[in-house]
Chain A
Amino acid sequence: MAQESAVYQLKLPSRTENLEIIREFVARIAQKAGFDDEDVAKIELAVDEACTNVVKHAYEGGSDKPIDVVVKLDYSKLTVIVTDQGKGFNPESVEVPDIKEYLAELRVGGLGIYLIRTLMDEVKYDIRPGVRNQVKMVKYFVGEGGETRRSEEVFIGTSQSAHVPKDEQRR
């Protein structure tokens, strides 16, 4: 059972009002997978930041384009992949070398990229402007003695689109 993987997918129009739904979707999965409240909050915030960037920057506020959020679980980690078809950006160009300096200059925006990097264990961008931009964020389960603390009973592989899958009590 522990090796079983699960895939959850949510596809929504890129509107800020949908951020709440995206957060709840991801947080619920992370919670049930066994992450503690602090990690759930980190994952939730990282995904919010990635999706906010899509709404605000990739699509420049255009509200009818899709945001695609995929959450994958396996025995060692939770992976969230956020995909858009917007204009993309160069993650290198928004490098934040010194957050103190950055904040002192009171620059608004761009904090999201910094937060995502700080909150997640791994972050990878795959940017193909106008075709498909993807940010992949990983959070590992860390238990005592390096063991997974993920509860085993929760997830059974499903891949569904456009809604939050109901818990499947197939045990």
Chain B
Amino acid sequence: MSSFEVERKDDGSVTTLYLKGYLDAHTAPELESAFQKLVDEKRFNVIVSMAELTYISSAGMGVFMGFIETMRDNRGDIKLSNLPPKIYRVFDLLGFPLLYEVYEEEKQALKRFRELMGESGSEEAESPPEAR
């Protein structure tokens, strides 16, 4: 039985990672290698869907922090979706909603990526929220 799983789905230039189980210092390296693989493949538009994530500690959140810059430097982003209340509370404690776009539904995040791509060249598309 696995305590943590990352499932991946590619849809055009956007990849969704589905997290399942608990994300702590023990399982964070698994997520790290999933992200590293995306960077190696030059896939920088990432949605992380957390519907089935039961627990997260700072070790898990550190993975997002470790990759957000790389993704944004390459005109991509990490967008978060489907956070269970328990998980959202931890993100909120650390002020993550200021740094990351958080969506209720994965499809909203996907739509946002599509909009940004369609509007590429517009100012909005090139400015991540915190870069104002």
Chain A residues within CB distance 8 Å of chain B: 15-17, 19-20, 23, 37-38, 41, 44-45, 48-49, 52, 55-56, 99-100, 103-104, 106-109, 111-112, 114-115, 118-119
Contacts and interface: CB of A to CB of B under 8 A. Distances in A.
Given A20-B3, A38-B89, A115 B58 contact: yes
A41 B61 CA distance: 16
A19 B60 CA distance: 13
In terms of DSSP, what is the predominant structure of the interface of chain A?
A: helix
Nearest to A27: B55
A56 B25 contact: yes
B51 interface: no
B65 to A, nearest CB: 5
Main secondary structure of the interface of B (DSSP, over half): helix
Given A41-B86, A48-B57, A108 B94 contact: no
Interface string B78-96: 0000000010011001111
Interface of B: 3, 22, 24-26, 55, 57-59, 61-62, 65-66, 68-69, 86, 89-90, 93-96, 98-99, 130
Given A19-B24, A111-B94, 11 more contacts: A16-B25, A45-B57, A48-B24, A52-B57, A55-B25, A56-B25, A103-B94, A103-B95, A106-B66, A106-B68, A114-B94
25 contacts: A15-B26, A16-B25, A19-B24, A19-B25, A19-B26, A19-B57, A20-B3, A20-B24, A45-B57, A49-B57, A52-B24, A52-B25, A52-B58, A52-B59, A100-B98, A103-B94, A103-B99, A104-B99, A108-B62, A108-B65, A109-B58, A111-B62, A112-B58, A115-B90, A115-B93
A44 B59 CA distance: 14
Nearest to A18: B26
A118 B89 contact: no
A41 B86 CA distance: 8
Contacts of B99: 103-104
Nearest to A110: B58
Contact of A41 (B25, B66, B89): B89
Given A108-B62, A115-B58, A45 B90 contact: yes
A20 B90 CA distance: 17
Given A16-B24, A20-B22, A20-B24, A99 B61 contact: no
A43 B95 CA distance: 19
Contacts of A48: 24-25, 57
Contacts of A17: 26
